[in-house]
Every structure is written in structure tokens, then in C-alpha cells.
Amino acid sequence: MTESACHVLLTDHGLIRASGEDATSFLHNLLTNDIKHLNEGEARHAGLCTPKGRLIATFLVWREGNDYLLMLSAEILPGILKKLSMYVLRSKVKLTDASQERRLVGVLGGALGPAEPMRTSPWGGGSAIRLDPHRLVLALPADAPLPAELPPAAELSAWHLAEIRAGMPRIVAATQEAFVPQMVNYELPAVGGVSFQKGCYPGQEIVARSQYLGKVKRRMYRARFDSPVAPGMEIFTPEAGEQHCGAIVLAAPSPEGGHEALLVVQSSGAEAGEIHVGSPNGPRAALLPLPYSLD
């Protein structure tokens, strides 16, 4: 990760805008997190699941006036917009692809925008969303020039590495329907993507059962590989034999050499310390610390 402050054009992210008098209840009834109590000036992570509780999208959600903006991986946006639109029926809500309205910029380091994590503020005709002390997202008018106060530009991989080092999952096309929320640590307070106090949503029964009936058997870990890896690549451990027991969530090259990744694997396999990618004898993972506890 670039140690000095930099900015990254988030060209692999897109935006969905939800507007209309039923937008709040519409999103609240579909997403894994509480949208009814998402106030102006706040941001939240949330997911969209299949009826079987498998994530097909993860979002960063914030409000602009009465509208909601949902940031997600651009490659899955058309399908997710179509999926969400199927639920509209008679609801007074309008869903649009807002990706052309805004330029999404990730800022690493620096002191722009709100200081408190998961807070937003108006900025440059758009919004600034503080994710954590190191990461900030700017959603700026697409036709406006980039602000002069931005730090120097960096490659997209710098942002991906920052996501990984923050332990923050993001669903991409290769990982749709691969994980229930708990597998990617989505319900942990440090990630904050699931509310267990809200009402039903697609897959809610499975997600709740995973939470309350026994320990979660698979978790997301951070790891280093000597060779390149990519989202969706299968994970193997000796105890699972020829059967894969997880997958790569996100991956990025590391300035220190090799690649860093977030991966999902059986917790018992992680504790044993022998994790391979691609095949039972594939490249071996060296586990690295996450910035939060899995307990």
C-alpha cells in the first residue's frame, strides 16, 4: 500500500441511486442492515442476499437529502440494479444507475472530509464519506474537475490493498453467491454490515440461523501469497482434502512483494496454518493479522 497520501480513481466501482417516498422502507426490507435509522451524515455497509442467505452484492450506503446512494462493484451493478428493480412493484421508489453522475475517488491518508469513521459530509458538490482513519471516498459531480487539494494519484491496486488491510470485504462477479455474510466477517462490529434487530429481508432466516445456532465455521482472513491470486480462486486445506473449503475474496499486489488477499476458509484450517490456493498442492498462504478480532 502506498504509505504516503494519495488518491485513486475508483473506476471499478459504481453507484445506484434510490429515490422516492418509499426508498427508505424499500431498501430496509431488502438489505442486511438497518436503513430506517440511517441518518443524514451517516454511512453504513449493507449486503443483498439470495433467499439462501448468500451475498450477491455488498454496498456502502449513505444519504443525500431524501435519496440514498449505494456504492458497489461496477461489474455487478447492471445485474443488481435489475434484481432490485424486480422488487419495486407498487413501491414509490425510483432506482437509477448514477455512475455517470458522479466521479468516485478514493483518498488514502490526508485529512479531507469527516474525521469520524462512517460519517459523511457535503464536499465539492457531492459527498465525502470517511470509512476509517486511512480511507475516504469522494463522490463528486462527474463534470467537475478534480479538486486541487487531492494528494498525488496512485494506481487502483493501492485502493484494493487498503481494502484488504482494513479487512473489508467487497463482492465482485467471481464471488457472487459464494458466502453468507458471516463468512466474510460482515456481522462483526468492525465491519458492521448486518443488523440482527431489524425485520426480514431475503435470506434473513439463514443469516440468523448461522448467527445463533453454533459457531461460524468459516471466516475471512488476511494472507500473503508469493504468486498472483484473484477473487473466486478456491481455497484448500489438508483436513478438507480434495474438496475446496473457501475462496479468495479480494487480492492485490503488495509493494513488499507477492500478493495480499482476503480469503475465506474453515477456521480450523486457518488454525492449522496450512492453506493452499487453486488446488490442494497450490501456492501456500501466509496468514497476516487483521485490524480487528474475529471473536
Query: What does the pLDDT read at residue 239?
Result: 87
Report pTM: 0.95
Q: What is the CATH number of the domain that holds 58?
A: 3.30.1360.120
- Band the pLDDT of 295: cuts 50, 70, 90: confident
**Domain that residue 272 falls in:** 217-295
Query: What does the pLDDT read at residue 1?
Result: 42
- The pLDDT of residue 78 is above 80: yes
Is 160 domain-assigned? yes
Q: What is the mean pLDDT of residues 214-223?
A: 89
In sequence order, what E strands does 101-206 have? 102-108, 119-123, 126-130, 135-141
Residues 243 and 158 in one domain: no
Q: What are 139-177's pLDDT values in tens digits?
A: 999 999 999 999 999 999 999 999 999 999 999 999 999
Q: What is the CATH number of the domain that holds 257?
A: 2.40.30.110
Strand partners, 48: 31, 57
CA-CA distance, 234 to 223, in Å (whole number)? Answer: 14
244's CB contacts (< 8 A; 6+ apart) are: 234, 235, 236
Residues 235 and 106 in one domain: no
Is 16 domain-assigned? yes
CA-CA distance, 71 to 137, in Å (whole number)? Answer: 10
> Looking at 151, 166, 181, which one is the last position of a domain?
166
